[in-house]
Structure 1
Amino acid sequence: MNKHICIIVLLLASVYTDAQELQSYIEEAWMNNPKIQAFELRYNQAREKASEAGALPNTEFGMGYFISEPETRTGAQKARFSAKQMLPWFGTVSTREKYSLAIAEKDYLDVIIARRKLALSVAQGYYELYSLNAQKAVIDENIKLIQTYEQLALKSLEVGKASAVDVLRLQIRQNELQQQKGVLEEQVRAEQASFNGWLNRNTEDMVTVVQEMTIPEADPVSTDSLQINPELTQFDRLYESVIQAELLNQKERAPMLGFGLDYVPVQERPEVNIIDNGKDILMPMVSLSIPIFNNRFESRTRQNELRKQEIEFLKQERLNLLEAAFAKSLALRNQARISYNTQTINLKQARDAEQLLLKSYE
Structure 2
Amino acid sequence: MKIDTKKIFISLLLISLWGGVGIAQELEDYLKIAAENNPKLQSAYTQFEAALQQSPQVSSLPDPTLTVSAFGRMVETRLGAQEARFSLMQMFPWFGTLKTKKEAADLLAEARFQEYLAMRADLFFEIKKAYAQLFAIEKTIALKEENLDILDSYRELSLSKFRSGSSKMVNVVRVDIKRDEALTEIELEKEQLESLKKQFNLLLNRDRQADVAIQDTLIFNPEIQNEIINPEEAFKMHPELAKFDREREAYESRAETAQKSGLPNFGIGVDYSIISKRRDANPPMNGQDAIMPMFSVSLPIFRKKYKAAEKEAELMQEAAIQNKEARENQLLSEFEQTVYDLNKADKLLKLYERQIESSNQANRLLVSAFSNNDGDFEEVLQMNQDILMLKTQQIEALKTGFTAQAKMDYLSAKTENYDEKN
TM-score (norm 1): 0.91
**Corresponding residue to 1:142 among 142, 147, 152:** 147
User: Over aligned residue pairs, what C-alpha RMSD do you find?
Assistant: 2.3
Could you say if the C-alpha distance between residues 14 and 121 of structure 1 is closer, same or farther in structure 2, counting changes exceeding 3 Å? farther
CA deviation digits over 1:45-95, x for unaligned, max 9?
A: 111111111221122121222233221122111222222111122222222
- Between 1:86-95 and 1:41-50, the stretch displaced more is 86-95
Could you say if the C-alpha distance between residues 217 and 274 of structure 1 is closer, same or farther in structure 2, counting changes exceeding 3 Å? closer
Q: Where does the alignment leave 5 or more consecutive residues of structure 2 unmatched?
A: 1-10, 373-422
**Corresponding residue to 2:60 among 43, 55, 62:** 55
Instruction: Provide the rounded CA distance (Å) in 1 between the counterparts of 2:349 and 2:258.
Output: 60
Instruction: Provide the rounded CA distance (Å) in 1 between the counterparts of 2:279 and 2:273.
Output: 19
- Note if 1:76 corresponds to 2:86: no
**Corresponding residue to 2:91 among 79, 86, 91:** 86
Could you say if the C-alpha distance between residues 322 and 215 of structure 1 is closer, same or farther in structure 2, counting changes exceeding 3 Å? closer
**Corresponding residue to 1:174 among 175, 179, 193:** 179
1:179 Cα deviation after fit: 0.8
Instruction: Provide the rounded CA distance (Å) in 2 between the counterparts of 1:299 and 1:236.
Output: 23
Q: 3-state DSSP class of the match of 2:95?
A: coil
1:302 Cα deviation after fit: 2.9
1:240 Cα deviation after fit: 0.7
Give the equivalent residue in structure 1 for 2:337: 328
Instruction: Provide the rounded CA distance (Å) in 2 between the counterparts of 1:13 and 1:229.
Output: 32
- The amino acid across from 1:352 in the alignment is Q
Give the equivalent residue in structure 1 for 2:380: none
Instruction: Provide the rounded CA distance (Å) in 2 between the counterparts of 1:135 and 1:17.
Output: 23
- Between 1:56-65 and 1:296-305, the stretch displaced more is 296-305
Give the equivalent residue in structure 1 for 2:123: 118
- Note if 1:248 corresponds to 2:253: no
Q: 3-state DSSP class of the match of 1:67?
A: strand
- Note if 1:40 corresponds to 2:45: yes
CA deviation digits over 1:129-168, x for unaligned, max 9?
A: 1101110111011101001111111211110122221111
- Note if 1:96 corresponds to 2:101: yes
Could you say if the C-alpha distance between residues 15 and 127 of structure 1 is closer, same or farther in structure 2, counting changes exceeding 3 Å? farther
Instruction: Provide the rounded CA distance (Å) in 2 between the counterparts of 1:218 and 1:235.
Output: 30
Q: 3-state DSSP class of the match of 2:68?
A: strand
Could you say if the C-alpha distance between residues 104 and 261 of structure 1 is closer, same or farther in structure 2, counting changes exceeding 3 Å? same
Give the equivalent residue in structure 1 for 2:160: 155
Contact 1:129 1:192 in 2 (8 A): yes
CA deviation digits over 1:6-44, x for unaligned, max 9?
A: 9xx9xx999746433322211210111111110001000
- The amino acid across from 1:330 in the alignment is V
Instruction: Provide the rounded CA distance (Å) in 2 between the counterparts of 1:159 and 1:54.
Output: 96
Instruction: Provide the rounded CA distance (Å) in 2 between the counterparts of 1:151 and 1:231.
Output: 61
Instruction: Provide the rounded CA distance (Å) in 2 between the counterparts of 1:18 and 1:301.
Output: 50
- The amino acid across from 1:103 in the alignment is L
1:218 Cα deviation after fit: 3.1
Contact 2:23 2:219 in 1 (8 A): no
- Note if 1:187 corresponds to 2:192: yes
**Corresponding residue to 1:267 among 270, 273, 276:** 276
Instruction: Provide the rounded CA distance (Å) in 1 between the counterparts of 2:237 and 2:79.
Output: 76
- The amino acid across from 2:38 in the alignment is N
**Corresponding residue to 1:361 among 352, 371, 377:** 371
Aligned length: 354
Instruction: Provide the rounded CA distance (Å) in 2 between the counterparts of 1:14 and 1:33.
Output: 33
Contact 2:21 2:219 in 1 (8 A): yes
1:337 Cα deviation after fit: 2.4
- Within-5 A mapping of 1:15-34: 16=21, 18-34=23-39
Contact 1:18 1:210 in 2 (8 A): no
Instruction: Provide the rounded CA distance (Å) in 2 between the counterparts of 1:13 and 1:46.
Output: 48
1:217 Cα deviation after fit: 5.9
Runs (4+) of structure 1 exceeding 6 A deviation are 12-15
Contact 1:18 1:209 in 2 (8 A): no
Give the equivalent residue in structure 2 for 1:208: 213
Could you say if the C-alpha distance between residues 158 and 339 of structure 1 is closer, same or farther in structure 2, counting changes exceeding 3 Å? same
Give the equivalent residue in structure 2 for 1:107: 112
Could you say if the C-alpha distance between residues 54 and 169 of structure 1 is closer, same or farther in structure 2, counting changes exceeding 3 Å? same
- The amino acid across from 1:312 in the alignment is I
Q: 3-state DSSP class of the match of 2:287?
A: coil
- Between 1:216-225 and 1:339-348, the stretch displaced more is 216-225
Could you say if the C-alpha distance between residues 289 and 103 of structure 1 is closer, same or farther in structure 2, counting changes exceeding 3 Å? same
Contact 1:50 1:97 in 2 (8 A): yes
Could you say if the C-alpha distance between residues 108 and 14 of structure 1 is closer, same or farther in structure 2, counting changes exceeding 3 Å? farther
- The amino acid across from 1:125 in the alignment is A
- Between 1:72-81 and 1:107-116, the stretch displaced more is 72-81
Instruction: Provide the rounded CA distance (Å) in 2 between the counterparts of 1:152 and 1:18.
Output: 43
What is the percent sequence identity of the aligned residues? 28
- The amino acid across from 2:338 in the alignment is S
CA deviation digits over 1:195-240, x for unaligned, max 9?
A: 1111111111111121123544633333242232222222211111
TM-score (norm 2): 0.78
Could you say if the C-alpha distance between residues 273 and 27 of structure 1 is closer, same or farther in structure 2, counting changes exceeding 3 Å? same
Could you say if the C-alpha distance between residues 215 and 75 of structure 1 is closer, same or farther in structure 2, counting changes exceeding 3 Å? closer
1:339 Cα deviation after fit: 2.3
